[in-house]
Structure 1
């Protein structure tokens, strides 16, 4: 009897031989000591897509030798394409239950798939909070239930849930968490903002926050990603744009209000940062708010009044 290649394929993704031809497959692997799934997955060349998994019970052992590491409940792993797969139940653990999703990513997911903590191409994320563990566990289960659904859009809906899972993993990666701003840097920013029109020196600012100028400069760049002069210039230009948009204050006065005594120098800085002169910026903003111009609006109003008068005369 003839058997097609498709019929010969292993249809159980938990057993060797499954082709993983789909764009998304999900499930839970319950590995129990001496059970039918208690073997080591060994794929030296990895797979074409990604696999993300989360341990929910017991422990798993990834790799062997000096690269080996164990994963425990709350640990999430991301296997990149072509990354060697070598994993199974950790010795000494009676079981290892892990939820998993195999997927082919969308192009714009690239940044969410660059996990900083990696061992031989396998990214690792440990969830420290039981609440987070529950949240991610539910997401894995939702993806599994959804992709098995009978709806015509089941795969697309599951991919949307997977996108949410990857975004949440990105958010919870320690390297991506927002770093609390040092109180001295907060005080520095507040001091500069209050004295934006003044030409305060680095020494003045350092004295105000009780730091040496060199230490302040280093700490500010480390926390803000730019030096103090650049940050102050950003604030000055932002304030200048607000004044130009919301007031009829002359450009020379605006320059003084944001800390530039020389109007020509202010205009050069503004043009360099915004791409247009201060007066050009104001003019373009006004035209955007009144695309037909005041004269046109006035004549349009007169035209409407004339039409109304004509209607009154004919009544």
Structure 2
């Protein structure tokens, strides 16, 4: 979608602080989306009514919905915020399945303050391409909000499972960065302090594949990328992708890609990518 013509960033605030008597009361909303991240306890109105929420509460108000909030316990208000709108913004909110007009306490909020800070800087400095930069940063904020909210809203998810989800994602990133290493299920399980069986169960739950299938798929993708360069031999591609047995590599490659690695070149890759 075009990012500049159908998305506007209207106003931004980073680490705004207000006295105890300060209160926002907009019965008809602000006419655009308002993303808020409160760093102190807050009284606010959302779909469930008006009540107190703890610090690190976030809410995305939609256009036309009543906006009402103030600091709890007469202690004042502190928050980061951003007003944005446009058809592109509305489509993005829908695409990310963001909770609108509902206060949440997402996990992994450490990414949000630097993003709000960078957004305010771009908005105020108005350097070349500032509008595009503001849209990109707003999108990153919404993605961080969506991911954190999804982890807390998932059925049967506990704080412990949320922690394990983070640990397994970090482990998966490490494994995929170091595919030449001879990874085993017991070793991966030890790194996240789980038994091999529990690790395999949770891995499939979070990523939709077993640890071994996911590892082989990543190695095959690495081999495809290497072979597409036209300068790497099949033996070299296998070794650099973590396969120690050339025959096993050829069988896995043929099963997943549909042709032998020796027949895989730039033209076959382009055709296969179109078919995916």
TM class by shorter chain equals 0.5 to 0.7
Greater RCO (Cα-Cα under 8 Å, separation 6 or more): 2
* Aligned equivalents of 2:37, 2:266: Cα separation in 1: 57
In structure 2, what is the equivalent of residue 78 of structure 1? 60
Q: TM-score w.r.t. structure 2 length? A: 0.53
Tell me what 1:278 maps to: 261
* Shift in CA distance, 272/98, structure 1 to aligned 2, threshold 3 Å: same
Bigger Rg over Cα: 1
Q: How does 1:1-315 map to 2 (within 5 A)?
A: 23-26=8-11, 32=19, 38=23, 40-43=25-28, 46=29, 48-55=31-38, 60-63=42-45, 67-70=49-52, 75-82=57-64, 84-90=65-71, 92-93=73-74, 95-96=76-77, 98=79, 100-105=81-86, 107=88, 110=92, 114=96, 118=99, 120-122=101-103, 125=106, 133=113, 135-136=114-115, 138-139=117-118, 141-142=120-121, 145-146=124-125, 157-158=130-131, 160-168=133-141, 170-171=143-144, 174=148, 179-181=166-168, 194=182, 215=198, 217-222=200-205, 224-228=207-211, 230-231=213-214, 233-234=216-217, 237-238=220-221, 241=224, 246-247=232-233, 257-259=246-248, 266=251, 270-271=253-254, 273-282=256-265, 284=267
Query: Which structure 1 segments of 5+ residues have no match?
Result: 1-21, 196-203, 286-315
Q: CA RMSD in A?
A: 5.6
CA distance in 1, matches of 2:182, 2:117: 48
Aligned partners of 2:35 and 2:60 also within 8 Å: yes
Q: Secondary structure at the match of 1:273?
A: helix
Do 2:227 and 2:264's aligned partners in 1 also have CA atoms closer than 8 Å? no
User: Any gaps of 5 or more consecutive residues in structure 2?
Assistant: 1-6, 152-162, 236-242, 269-276
Q: Between Structure 1 and Structure 2, how many residues are aligned?
A: 232
1:145 and 1:184 map into 2 onto residues whose CA distance is: 39
1:64, CA displacement in angstroms? 7.0
| 1:87 Cα deviation after fit | 0.9
Secondary structure of residue in 1 paired with 2:166: coil
Answer yes or no: is the 8 Å Cα contact 1:51–1:103 preserved in 2. Answer: yes
CA 1:191/1:40 → structure 2, altered by over 3 Å: closer, same or farther?
A: closer
